[in-house]
Each structure stands twice: as C-alpha cells, then as structure tokens.
C-alpha cells in the first residue's frame, strides 16, 4: 500500500505521517517511511535526535546506485544515465519489496526503532534554496518516484510518504503513485484551497484523495470542512497533547496517544486498505508509462540524447506475480 500525506505548509503533514507510521507499527505492519518534503522533519517526528536525523542518507545522493540496481538486466534501458525518474520497469528490471533487504535500502534506508516495532526510514535529503525549481530538486524527488514505480507492495506492507503538494509531483506523475492521498487541511480557507488545486490535478487520473482535518477544535471546524470539501472529508484530528509533549522533548509511549486520535488513525488505515483493495495494477502501469512518455518528450529525450519512449516494455505489468527476481510471470 502506498500512501501520501500532502497539504499546505505547516498543516501537519509530518505530524500526521509520523503518527500514522507509529499506528501502523503498533498494528504490526511492515513500513517504509519516506521523507520527501522540502522541510525534512519526518525523522525528528519519529523520535530521531538531531544528529541521527542529520546522518540519514540522502536518496538524491544515491541516484546512480538506485538506477543501476533497478535497471537490472532490462535490455531496453541501456545505462543508468538514460534512466530518468519516470523510466518504467520492464522485463529484466529489479523490483523492490517493502520487507526485503536490498542494496537500495542498504544505501538509503535506516531502521528507526519505535515503541511498537521497527520501521525503515528513507529521506530525499534536504533541499537547498538553489535546488528549488531546478533539476537537482527534481532528481531528489525523482528517486522516490523511481522506487515507487519499481515497488511491489502487499496488503500488510506500507510505504508512507511525507510530501509537498508542489507542482513537481504533478509534472512527473508522482501524485498518481498512491493508493491513498491524505490531504491534511486546517479548517481555514487557505487549507482547503490546496485541496481544490490537488483535486483538480487528481480528477483525470482517478487519484483517491481524502481530506484529514487537522487542529480541529470543534463541530464548527468540522462543519466548515464538510461544507468546503463534502464527502472527501474523512475525519478531523484535534490538538494532541501527546504531540505537544513530544515536541517538548518529553515523549510518552505511543499507547498513551489520545483515544480520539487513535481512532482517527484507524480510520485512515481503513480508508487506505479499502482503496488498496481496488488497486488495478494494469492501470497503475499504464499511468507510469503515460507520464514517462510525457517527460521523455518534454525534456528527457533531449537531456539524455536517447529515444526514451523505447524504454517502455509494452507487455510488462507491475504486480505481485513479478515479485522475486528472475521468476518469469505466467502469461
């Protein structure tokens, strides 16, 4: 299951991602958490101290390794240099599994010990001012997109991405890679305006989008959100003293999280599971090809000097049967 948290700056994406990850760990799910936000705070929200968070490897710095591994023996991908963030897997490509060990996780993931179990954490790496809007920023987020497109995830395996709602994810197709996108919105006009923009992009691609109200203070706030986003409102989360004490550096055990908030997290998990149950791998593969062709044409062919459309393996469908390197999929 692939899940994204998006929303306006400061809405609570990182806080809710981290709570959701803790909740999943408490439910014994296998979790890979990915910090793909401009502000890299997921590690801290999961309890890493400053030095530990700063020592997280940056996916952006390991792109050549990621590409070389995923490319495997795929004859359509001549070299890592011609592999762009949207290059889809094909026969011979290596796929990733949430619960396995592989060189990509070795290089880019670190184990984080939570109260209720271990999870893996990966991070794009910090974005500097000069990254924004240029190729470097795209390649950092691109590393995540490549991994998502090469990942075969089962029902009890979760990838949770803390993400910006920025235009980069729309250009590349990143926003279509999730079974469920939780848009975190405070009950304010600005909060819901990000929702409208996201919804607009998502509409044509069948993206499952649910609004999670955050810092909701009462029925008035919920009424406001419901009036603005209708049935897309999943649930509202209130102020959490548990979160506040963690931010004071006095974390308490996760089992002490407020009961209302625990129930909200379960509602998120239920919604994600329902949506995963509807996953159509063929459509998922078709969409990655769509965005690859679009990116190839708009900049990729020119940048690599190759015809990147030729990377598409027309008979390949990502899916469970493809799991396990070298095992041919039944026709």
Ligand X SMILES: Nc1ncnc2c1ncn2[C@@H]1O[C@H](COP(=O)(O)OP(=O)(O)OP(=O)(O)O)[C@@H](O)[C@H]1O
Cα–Cα distances (Å) from 258 to 21, 53, 242, 281, in that order, read 16, 26, 7, 37
Q: What is the number of H-type helices and E-type strands within the chain? A: 13, 10
Interface with ligand X, residue 247, by CB under 6 A: yes
Please give the full DSSP string across 38-96, using - where no structure is assigned: SS--HHHHTT--HHHHHTSPBGGGGHHHHHHHHHTT-TT---GGG--TTPPP-TT---E
Q: Is 157 in the site for ligand X (CB under 6 A)?
A: no
Q: Which of 190, 239, 283, 321 binds ligand X (CB under 6 A)?
A: 239
Q: Does 243 bind ligand X (CB under 6 A)?
A: yes
Nearest to 163 by CA among 151, 146, 147, 175: 175
**10 lies in the binding site for ligand X (CB under 6 A):** yes
Residue 91 and residue 198: Cα distance in Å, rounded?
33
Q: Which of 2, 22, 23, 41 binds ligand X (CB under 6 A)?
A: 41
# binding residues, ligand X (CB under 6 A): 19
Smallest distance, Å, CB 15 to ligand X?
3
Residue 157 contact among ligand X, Mg ion, none, beta carbon within 5 to 8 Å by kind: none
Does position 39 interact with ligand X (CB under 6 A)? The reply is yes
Which residue, 32 or 163, is less far from ligand X as judged by CB? 163
Q: Please, which residue, 12 or 125, has the CB nearer to ligand X?
A: 12
Helix (H, G, I), strand (E, B) or coil at 303: helix
10 binds, among Mg ion, ligand X, none (CB under 5 to 8 A by kind): ligand X
* Binding status of residue 237 toward ligand X by CB under 6 A: yes
Q: Which is nearer to ligand X, 66 or 265 (CB)?
A: 265
Please tell me the distance from the alpha carbon of residue 133 to that of residue 263, in angstroms, as a whole number.
Answer: 39
- Which stretches of the chain bind Mg ion, using CB under 5 A? 13-14, 37, 39, 41
- Contact status: 214 vs ligand X (CB under 6 A): yes
Nearer to ligand X, 7 or 90 (CB): 7
Q: Does 22 bind ligand X (CB under 6 A)?
A: no
- Quick check: 91 and 24 in contact, CB under 8 A? no
Among 14, 87, 149, 181, binds ligand X (CB under 6 A): 14
Residue 111 β-bridge partners: 120
Instruction: State the distance between the two ends of the chain, measured CA to CA, in whole angstroms.
Output: 25
Nearest approach, Cβ of residue 10 and ligand X (Å): 5
| Contact status, residue 232 vs residue 194, Cβ threshold 8 Å | no
| Site residues (vs ligand X, CB under 6 A) | 7, 9-15, 37, 39, 41, 214-215, 237, 239-240, 243-244, 247
């Amino acid at each position: 299951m692939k899940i994204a948290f998006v929303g306006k700056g400061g809405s609570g994406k990182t806080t809710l991602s981290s709570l959701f990850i803790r909740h999943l760990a408490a439910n014994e799910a296998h979790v890979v958490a990915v910090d793909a936000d401009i502000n890299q705070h997921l590690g801290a929200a999961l309890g890493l101290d400053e030095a530990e968070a700063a020592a997280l490897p940056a996916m952006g710095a390991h792109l050549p390794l990621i590409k070389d591994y995923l490319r495997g023996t795929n004859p359509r991908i001549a070299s890592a240099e011609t592999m762009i963030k949207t290059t889809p897997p094909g026969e011979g490509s290596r796929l990733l599994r949430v619960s396995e060990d592989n060189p990509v996780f070795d290089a880019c993931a670190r184990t984080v010990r939570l109260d209720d179990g271990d999870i893996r954490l990966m991070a794009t790496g910090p974005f500097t001012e000069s990254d924004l809007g240029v190729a470097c920023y795209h390649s950092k987020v691109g590393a995540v997109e490549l991994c998502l497109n090469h990942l075969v995830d089962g029902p009890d395996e979760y990838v949770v991405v803390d993400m910006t709602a920025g235009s980069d994810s729309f250009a590349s197709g990143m926003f279509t890679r999730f079974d469920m996108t939780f848009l975190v919105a405070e009950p304010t006009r600005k909060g819901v305006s990000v929702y409208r923009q996201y919804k607009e992009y998502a509409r044509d691609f069948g993206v499952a989008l649910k609004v999670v109200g955050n810092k909701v203070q009462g029925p008035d706030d919920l009424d406001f959100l419901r009036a603005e986003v209708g049935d897309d409102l999943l649930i509202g989360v209130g102020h959490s003293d548990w979160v506040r004490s963690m931010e004071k550096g006095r974390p308490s055990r996760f089992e002490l999280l407020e009961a209302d908030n625990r129930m909200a997290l379960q509602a998120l998990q239920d919604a994600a599971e329902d949506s995963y149950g509807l996953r159509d791998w063929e459509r998922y593969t078709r969409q990655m090809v769509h965005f690859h062709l679009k990116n190839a044409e708009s900049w990729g062919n020119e940048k690599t000097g190759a015809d990147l459309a030729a990377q598409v393996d027309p008979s390949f469908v990502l899916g469970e049967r493809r799991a396990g390197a070298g095992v041919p999929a039944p026709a």
